[in-house]
């Protein structure tokens, strides 16, 4: 009898420390609007600074005349263009413009990625949420090593911390030696609303 009581107490205590996990899918986005501006990496202008509206590009270490990122009209999954990143010795981070989020919302984010490299790198994506003052409240991460064809990199997010106001997607492509990587059909959708007690 004493063993059963100990097992029951252990089970109850352990359940208090197990965090809930969310798993949203493509099916959940059917009735939701995409929160990202320019999810297909479409060209908005011939001017370099304005061409990729909706996204900020950071190259590390910084390089003034970095020419390895282009809008490519020859290969796309959705629409007429994709973003092509050619092999380089630098880290490339794409960060979306901010979009509004709610504390009690559930979110599904994704980007589609293709590569012709024989040694594809691991690509990371984060959905980052933050308060009105810029303080980060949550980070939801996913990563993938690319296989042949278009690959989906997706993350589910929810249970956001208090005072959250904004979100961004961040995509990190580390240095790679040969070939190219294409990004297309990105998005973030509010797919669920949690009930408030």
Q: In 10 A of CB 20, how many CB atoms?
A: 6
pLDDT band at residue 20, thresholds of 50, 70 and 90? very low
Q: Report helix, strand or coil for 58.
A: strand
pLDDT band at residue 196, thresholds of 50, 70 and 90? low
Q: Is residue 8 part of a domain?
A: no
Q: Is residue 104 part of a domain?
A: yes
- Token readout for 116 is 């012709």
What's the 3-state SS for 89-142? CCEEEEEECCEECCCCEEEEEEEEEEECCCCCCEEEEEEEEEECCCCEEEEEEE
The CATH number of the domain holding residue 156 is 2.60.120.260
Q: Is residue 40 part of a domain?
A: yes
pTM attached to this predicted model: 0.82
Of the candidate ranges 24-33, 107-116, 138-147, 177-186, the one whose mean pLDDT is the lowest: 24-33
Domain of 109, in residue numbers = 22-193
Q: Is residue 3 part of a domain?
A: no
Structural domains in the chain (count): 1
What pLDDT does 31 receive? Answer: 80
- Token readout for 64 is 């003034």
Q: What is the pLDDT of residues 45-96, one digit of tens each?
A: 655 566 789 999 999 999 888 999 999 999 999 889 999 999 999 999 999 9
Q: What is the pLDDT of residues 106-127, one digit of tens each?
A: 999 999 999 999 888 899 999 9
Whole-angstrom Cα Rg for the chain: 20
Name which residue leads in pLDDT, 1 or 118: 118
């Amino acid at each position: 009898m004493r063993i059963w009581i100990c097992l029951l107490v252990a089970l109850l205590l352990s359940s208090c420390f197990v965090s809930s996990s969310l798993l949203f899918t493509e099916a959940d986005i059917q009735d939701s609007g995409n929160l990202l501006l320019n999810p297909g990496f479409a060209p908005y202008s011939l001017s370099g600074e304005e061409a990729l509206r909706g996204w900020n590009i950071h190259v590390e270490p910084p390089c003034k005349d970095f020419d390895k990122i282009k809008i490519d009209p020859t290969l796309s999954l959705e629409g007429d263009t994709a973003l092509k990143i050619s092999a380089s010795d630098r880290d490339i981070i794409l960060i979306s413009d901010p979009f509004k989020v709610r504390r009690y919302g559930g979110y599904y984010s994704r980007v589609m990625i293709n590569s012709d490299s024989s040694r594809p790198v691991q690509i990371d994506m984060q959905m980052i949420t933050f308060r009105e003052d810029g303080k980060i409240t949550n980070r939801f991460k996913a990563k993938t090593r690319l296989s042949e064809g278009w690959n989906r990199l997706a993350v589910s997010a929810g249970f956001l911390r208090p005072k959250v106001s904004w979100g961004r997607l961040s995509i990190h492509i580390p240095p790679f030696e040969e070939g190219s990587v294409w990004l297309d059909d990105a998005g973030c959708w509010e797919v669920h609303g949690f009930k408030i007690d």
